[in-house]
Amino acid sequence: MKESNQHSRSVRIVLATSGGYLVLLLLLSVFGVYALPDPTPYANTQNPDQAVQPLMHQGAIRHWLGTDTLGRDLLSRLVWGIRVSLGTGLAAMALALVFGTTVGMVAGFYRSWVDRVLSWLMQVIWSLPSVMLVLAFSLALGRGWWQVFVAIGLTMWVDVARIVRGQVLALREREFVMAARMMGFSDWHLMTVQLLPNLFKPLLVMAASVFGSAILLESGLGFLGLGVQPPVPSLGTMLREHYPYLLLGAPHLVWAPAGLIFTMVLGFNVLGSALSSSLDTKR
């Protein structure tokens, strides 16, 4: 009993810490852009080395984290990059959850040839590397914000579908579903009213995992030049633009966006693990 209470307390601490950090980033991305300088003007396009203002520079009262190679405020671009990452992750997560839940629900509910066809499709897509799929979809759809989240969402729905299919296969033979079927309710009613509410817990955990993975993939696309296009700031694009300065006297230009990507992905993964432990009814 004591160990169970300690575990519950640890899970609550992890949930509060990771959730609080992510909420802080969300608030910063929503409201911080109005209090910071415009991230797009170019102060110096002739000499990038002179355009960079380091930390604690005499102009740091206006540029708290200095400026980049084109004289743009680094903090403003980081905040905009957080907004792009969170927005892309949210849209990609929603698309993956809707599409994956629909496919998994249909496959698990109807079984027979429908399940075989959809399971084969899931197996084929799941066997392919996610990065290669995202690159293929990005090249096919083009460059832009909506193309990025569509490409990521169409790549990550398989994991959701596999979880939903397994849950539906276990639930469709339960007494409450059989009773509703005997009362003459339609398949649509059985799937949306009887089965879907019972998928809330696994879908909540999957949402956190998909969100973090989507942020990582969006940053990777930005680093390759296939993500959100300039002048919109992106954390991955900032890495691509500034990685030479890691050894040229301005490493903060690289460490700042890299640290944000790392902590956001870690935060969502930790949040998903904590949600999985807190929602585990066996404990």
pLDDT (tens, 9 = 90+) of the chain, 283 residues, equals: 555 666 677 778 888 888 888 889 888 888 877 777 666 655 444 444 444 554 444 444 566 677 777 777 788 888 888 999 999 999 999 999 999 999 999 999 888 888 899 999 998 888 888 888 888 888 888 777 788 888 888 888 999 999 999 999 988 888 888 888 888 888 888 888 888 988 988 899 899 989 999 999 989 888 888 888 777 888 888 888 888 777 777 788 888 899 999 999 999 998 888 888 877 644 4
Residue extents of the structural domains in the chain = 2-278
CATH architecture of the domain with range 2-278: Orthogonal Bundle (1.10)
Rounded Cα distance, 277 and 279, in Å? 6
For 22, residues 6+ apart whose C-beta sits below 8 A from its C-beta are 264, 267, 268, 271
| Whole-number percent of the chain with pLDDT over 70 | 85
77: β partners = none
pLDDT in tens, 113-165: 888 999 999 988 888 888 888 888 888 887 777 888 888 888 889 999 999 99
pLDDT in tens, 64-85: 677 777 777 788 888 888 999 9
Give the three-state DSSP class for 73. strand
Q: Global pTM?
A: 0.84
For 279, residues 6+ apart whose C-beta sits below 8 A from its C-beta are 201, 204, 205
